[in-house]
Amino acid sequence: MSHTVSEPDVAAHHEPSWRAGLKDGMPPLFGIAAWGLVVGVAMVKSGLSVMQALGMTLVVFAGSAQLAALPLIAAAAPIWVIFVTSVVVNLRFVIFAALLAPHFAKLPVLRRFFYGYGTGDLTTALYLQRYPNEKPEEGKLSYLRGLLYPNWIAWQAGSIAGIFLGSAVPPEWGLGFAGTLAIVCLAVPMVATRPALVGALVAAVTAVLAHALPYKLGLLAGVVVGMVTAMVVEGQIERRKAANV
For helices 121-130 and 140-168, angle between their N-to-C axes, nearest 10 degrees: 160
Query: DSSP character for 131?
Result: -
CA distance 164 to 73: 20
Q: Across the chain, how many H-helices and E-strands are there? A: 13, 0
115/143 with CB nearer another protein: 115
For helices 91-100 and 79-89, angle between their N-to-C axes, nearest 10 degrees: 50
153/188 with CB nearer another protein: 188
5/212 with CB nearer another protein: 212
CB of 151 to another protein, least distance (A): 13
CB of 177 to another protein, least distance (A): 6
15/168 with CB nearer another protein: 168
CB of 58 to another protein, least distance (A): 9
CA distance 34 to 27: 13
16/235 with CB nearer another protein: 235
Residue type, 79: I
CB of 107 to another protein, least distance (A): 8
CB of 91 to another protein, least distance (A): 5
Tell me if 162 sits within 8 A of 50, measured CB to CB: no
Query: DSSP character for 107?
Result: S
